[in-house]
Structure formats: C-alpha cells, structure tokens
Structure 1
Amino acid sequence: MRILNVGPLWRGSNAGGLFRAFSRAGAFIEVVDEFYHVSLRTSNRTIKTMERFLRPMQVREFNTTIRKSIDTFQPGVLLVYKGVFVLPETLRYAQEKGCRTVLFYPDVSTTAHGPHIPASIPVYDTIFTTKTFGIRDMQEQYKVKNAMFIPHGFDPDIHRPFIAIGPEERAIFSCDASFIGTWSPKKEQWLTHLVHKVPGIKLKVWGDQWHRVTDPALRACVQGKPIVGDLYALAIQCSTINLGILSEKIAGSSSGDLITSRTFHIPGASGFMLHERNEESVLYYREEEEAAFFDGPEEMAAQVQRYLADGAARESIRIAGHKRAMAEHSLDARAAFIIDHLSKH
C-alpha cells in the first residue's frame, strides 16, 4: 500500500508516530509536514498578528504541495491527520487521481478548529475517529456514513521506558503526582481540590495555558511550559502517579473525552496510571490490576493517598499496565488495523 500522509511531524506528535507505524507495517509512505508550511508555534504577539495575514497564503502553498506530492508519489491512499488546513478541493483532486481519501480525526469537536474541517469532512471517503461519540456527531452534523472508531495508541519510538534516569532529570521531573496536558476549567478545579485535600503533596503540572490558574497552592505546582517527546516520556516515568483527567464537553461535541492519547502514552512509557473512570476507559485496562481509576475529585484525592502509601500495589499495576499496552495499544497495532481495513473495503 502506498500512503501519502499529511500532518505534523514534530518529535512526539501523534501524527508522526502513526506515520512511522505505517512504514514499519510495510507500507510505502511519503509525508507532507503541516508545520513546515503553516506556522503555529510562536508566542510573540506581533508575529502572531503577522501570521494571521500570511495564513491564507500558507494554506494555499500547503495544499499545492499536497497536490504536487500526489502527482509525484502517486499514492493509493491520502491519509490526513486532523486536517485543519486541508481544503475540500485538494481532496477532490486526490479522488480524481484515483486516490482514496482518509481522515484520521483525534479531537472531540470538529467545529472548534477553523472552517476547513467542517467543509472537508463530507468529502472524505473514509473517516477514523478516536472518539466513539464522534461517529454520531459526524452523522448528525454532516450526514456522513463512513466514520468508524479507532482508539489512540502509544508511540514505541517515544513512549518507552528509559533504562537510566540521572539525578539531574529526577530533580526536574520527580514528584508524587503529575498531570500533563492543556488547562481546562474542570482540570483546574479537580487539581485545586487535590492540593488542598492532600496537604504537602508534591504535584507537578505541565502543559499549555496553565497561567490561568488562580489558586496560589495550585499555581505553585505549575511548571510553566508544555513538555513533548522524550521529556514527556521521562516525566511520566519520574511521576509516582500519573493522573488521567479528561477534557470536558466543548462546542461542537456531544461529550467530553472518554479516553485520550495519554490513556495509552502513560502505560506505554511504563508509568503508573490513575485515570478517570467511565464506561469506556475501563475497557482497556483491568481496574486495580493494570490501572487505577477514580470518579470525580474526591475519589481522585483518596486514590492518590492510597497509592502513594502502597508502593507494592502501585508497582504491580504499573508493570501489568505496561504489558497490556505493549500487547494491544501501540500505534503499530492501530496502523495494522487501518491498513487491513483499507485493504478489505
């Protein structure tokens, strides 16, 4: 199978991990790196203002590159990861060239990331969504009948156990508990409850937008930056407890997250995972054997206290969770599933 992949390639990106998994599965691949064409990472306000004027030109150049890559590489499949800047006319061009268009959609809402995703979704031949409720949402919003569920996975190139972790790394990353992810009101509320319910806990919070925190006790836990790639995996291993607090419902979605990429990153990197409990999250790991779970901030705090005090149980769960992830939840398994499905349908 010859697959032209479109998405960001920065080290630690879920898109890049999936693309490499296709290659390991034996597919011929080419990649158009979204971030090479569309600038998104600056925090400078002046540059951000300039980028808004440049963005339409960047998007046109990005889509021109995709069309040129189709002509040169002649793929059987064009697989787009999320597709914030992929235009409907580019998808139609691919289809005219005999290329099957596939969307891998990893987020809860299809309407919260600009105008191109809603315009393009009805054009794709096949859609994979990492949200079970995403199938219903796309049917109701776009009348699509070609969406199917696939969970996230961990990237064995990134989310892996490190054999030796030095004292400098431990000084930076070691803690009783950590949360790694983008700020949201729910996450702030639950973590604020934790730091007050468990006085003296050494909590570290990594991710974007945590400057919004107002409570002084929680603000002292905020590390002030996101971490990605190897540092992300390192932080998981240096955390005694890794918290899996899920994002709440936002505009354009019928539900908040039930699982997320961290559901698989944490055990993949051999971390102990304490995850928010719901009807879906408990399907992937046996409770109190391969992961620990909680309902709401009260039980989260109680479970943190329990597992900080019980190192033997924590270690047993951590090892079993890593084994489960290795056996079933790598991006290699997800890539194999996608290739098999596309080969048969």
Structure 2
Amino acid sequence: MTIVYIGDDNPSSTSFHRFLALKRLGHLVTIYNPQDACKEQLQGFLGSKIHFRTGYQFLQNRIRKWLTTVLEKQKTVDLIWVDSGELIGKSALETLKIAGAPVVLYNVDDPTGKRDGGRFKSLLRALPFYDLVVVVRTESEKECRELGASNVLLVYRSYDEEAHKPYDTLAEIPTQFQSEIAFIGTWMRYEKRDDFLLKLIQNGLPVAIWGDRWQKSPHWNALKAHYRGGALGGRDYVAAIQGAKLCIGMLSKGNRDLHTQRSLEIPFIGGLFCAERTSEHTEMYQEDEEAVFWNDVDECILTCRDLLGNEPKRESIRRAGMRRVRENKVGNEDICTRIIEELKRNQAI
C-alpha cells in the first residue's frame, strides 16, 4: 500500500516511530512534515504562541498550497495518514481528499479537552471530513462523534517494537542510567509532579529524575541532587528505564489521562511499572502481579519501600509485566495494523 504520511519527521518523535512501523509492515510510506509549510511563522516565542492559541487558522492557505505540492509528487496514493493533525484544517483536508484516497487522523493528545485552549480549533472543524478518526481517550471518542466524525476508533497508546527494544543484558546499560527509582518526564506547573517526588525523597527514597524544565520548580533546590539530566531519547531512554529497579509513571490531569505512553513503554522495555491506579491501568495489568499501583503519594511510598526490599517479588512483577504488554498487542505495528483493518472493514480502502 502506498501511504502519504503527514506528521513530525523528527527521528525521536513518536510520530516518526509510527511512520517507521508502517514501513516495517511492508507499506511504501513517504513522510511530509506540515511544519515545513510554515517554519518562519512558527519560529519565535510570539509567533508560535499566537498560532497555537488561534488553532493555526491563519496558516491554512499556506498549508493548503503546501499539501497541493505534496500530492503532485505522488504518482499513486492508497491512504493518507495524518498524525496529530493540529495544523490541518477543513480547507487543507479538502485538498488532501482530492487525491481520492481515504484520510485517517491519528491523535494521541486530548483535542476535545480544555487544557490547550484553542490549539485544536482547526482540527476540530475538519473532523467530519476524515474517513477514520483514531483517539486514545473514551471522552475523545464520544466528543469527536458529537462534533461530526462518522467513524471513530478508540485505541490504547503504544510502545515501539524497535525504538524501545530492551538491552540484551543489564551489564550493557551504562552506569549513569542505573538507579533505584526513576522518573522520566517534564516538570509541569500545575501537575504537582515536583511535590510528589519531593515527598518520596523526604521519606528516604532514592529517586533519579530525568526531564526538561525541572529548574523551574519551586522545589528545585531540594530536587537538584536527584536530577540526572534533560529529556531522554533513543537508547538512553531505554537504558534509564531498564536500568531502574522501579519506574514511576505519572498522568497528565489536564489531558484527562487514564494511561500514557509510559504505561506501555516501561513494561515493554523491562521496567517495573509503578503508577497511579486507574481503570485503564488495572485493565492493562494485573495489580501486584504485572505492575503496581497507588492512589496517593503515601501509598506509593509504602509500595516502593516494599519492592526495593524484595528483589524476588520485584523481578516476578517486572517479568510478568513484560509478558503482558506483549500479549496486549499494543505495539506500533499492532495499532497500525488495527487501523488499516478498520479502514478495510468500512470499505474505505
């Protein structure tokens, strides 16, 4: 199948991982980054802020012309895959539809939620014109239908079979990525992740933190001794997860998360997943057998203490989690296959 893939072409992005997964499945896929159409407009703090808040409405003519050029390069098109889609409004989507191929939207954000203000304004107006809309939240599924999307598929997020492949042995993991308890994630002003991690530290737990913007935390002076560095990608990301005895997973409340990318990536890589107890987490994994969960920081402290002092239990849960996430069929190749099968089922391709 010949696929035009509209998405982020940064090799470390999850969008690019999905592009590669489609190629591994045997499809002929060409990636085009929609930001190439408006690099100048999105550069700089003010410009990017204005377009984010206005839902990229003032960039639509530019993006539409760019998409026309993209399609002129393609001799045949069997499927157009739009990943994220925040830059693709109604007129731009109508341009894509001229190719005569089905167009699928895959979005792992919360486009119908309130956290990001007007960011997805253009995308929401285009929803009725997609042949399939793929989302990762039950709220998004319902709200996309209410906004006119005729075919909506709910999926879990996914790990990547190649990018997140574990090291063969722990001995291969560099010492700088080994830890007792790891948290990998960005500091966010209203998410209180710093409060949570600080309480773990104050209770004597050896926490290692990787991620951006932690210097902005009001608790930075107390956290900086536990800070290992900025955002991780590639094999460093895999090493930090596999090299930890426990991996803390946190949700984004502003995004109405009940699971995140880490919920799949951590067990696949071989980390012991320790996260907030939600309906989706307990559906994915058997509690205390394949992952461990908590309702608040105090329960997390008790859970971490117990597991750090019990290697056989820790290893049993870790191995069982690795098996379960593979059985759940939530790799990028699995999800991409499911999406294409859904399109075939609806006779879109």
Shorter-chain TM range is: 0.7 to 0.9
1:317 counterpart residue number: 317
1:336 counterpart residue number: 337
1:96 counterpart residue number: 98
2:258 counterpart residue number: 258
1:207 counterpart residue number: 211
Percent sequence identity over aligned pairs: 24
1:138 counterpart residue number: 144
1:193 counterpart residue number: 199
Secondary structure of the 2:82 match is: strand
Between stretches 187-196 and 151-160, larger displacement belongs to: 187-196
Within-5 A mapping of 1:70-85:
70-73=71-74, 74-85=76-87
2:165 counterpart residue number: 160
List runs of 5+ in structure 1 lacking aligned partners: 251-255
| Alpha-carbon shift at residue 169 of structure 1 (Å) | 2.1
| Alpha-carbon shift at residue 53 of structure 1 (Å) | 9.4
Q: CA distance change for structure 1 residues 165 and 155 in 2, over 3 Å: closer, same or farther?
A: same
2:233 counterpart residue number: 228
Distance 1:62 1:222 in 2: 40
| Alpha-carbon shift at residue 206 of structure 1 (Å) | 1.8
| Alpha-carbon shift at residue 28 of structure 1 (Å) | 2.3
Secondary structure of the 2:306 match is: helix
| Alpha-carbon shift at residue 126 of structure 1 (Å) | 1.4
Among 118, 122, 126, the alignment partner of 1:116 is 122
Distance 1:324 1:168 in 2: 24
Deviation digits for residues 13-59 of structure 1, max 9, x if unmatched?
Answer: 2211212222222322111134655659x9xxx95457679998987
Q: CA distance change for structure 1 residues 35 and 289 in 2, over 3 Å: closer, same or farther?
A: farther
- 2:211–2:232 Cα contact (<8 Å) kept: yes
Distance 1:63 1:54 in 2: 16
Among 177, 190, 196, the alignment partner of 2:181 is 177
TM-score, scaled to structure 2? 0.85
List runs of 5+ in structure 2 lacking aligned partners: none
Secondary structure of the 2:5 match is: strand
The residue type paired with residue 234 of structure 1 is A
1:148 aligns to 2:153 (yes or no): yes
The residue type paired with residue 99 of structure 1 is A
Secondary structure of the 1:108 match is: coil
The residue type paired with residue 217 of structure 1 is A
RMSD of the TM alignment (CA)?
2.8
Secondary structure of the 1:192 match is: helix
Q: CA distance change for structure 1 residues 59 and 192 in 2, over 3 Å: closer, same or farther?
A: farther
Q: CA distance change for structure 1 residues 64 and 318 in 2, over 3 Å: closer, same or farther?
A: farther
- 1:4–1:31 Cα contact (<8 Å) kept: yes
1:245 aligns to 2:250 (yes or no): yes
Q: CA distance change for structure 1 residues 2 and 139 in 2, over 3 Å: closer, same or farther?
A: same
Distance 2:2 2:169 in 1: 38
| Alpha-carbon shift at residue 336 of structure 1 (Å) | 1.1
Q: CA distance change for structure 1 residues 281 and 93 in 2, over 3 Å: closer, same or farther?
A: same
| Alpha-carbon shift at residue 258 of structure 1 (Å) | 0.3
The residue type paired with residue 274 of structure 1 is C
The residue type paired with residue 204 of structure 1 is A
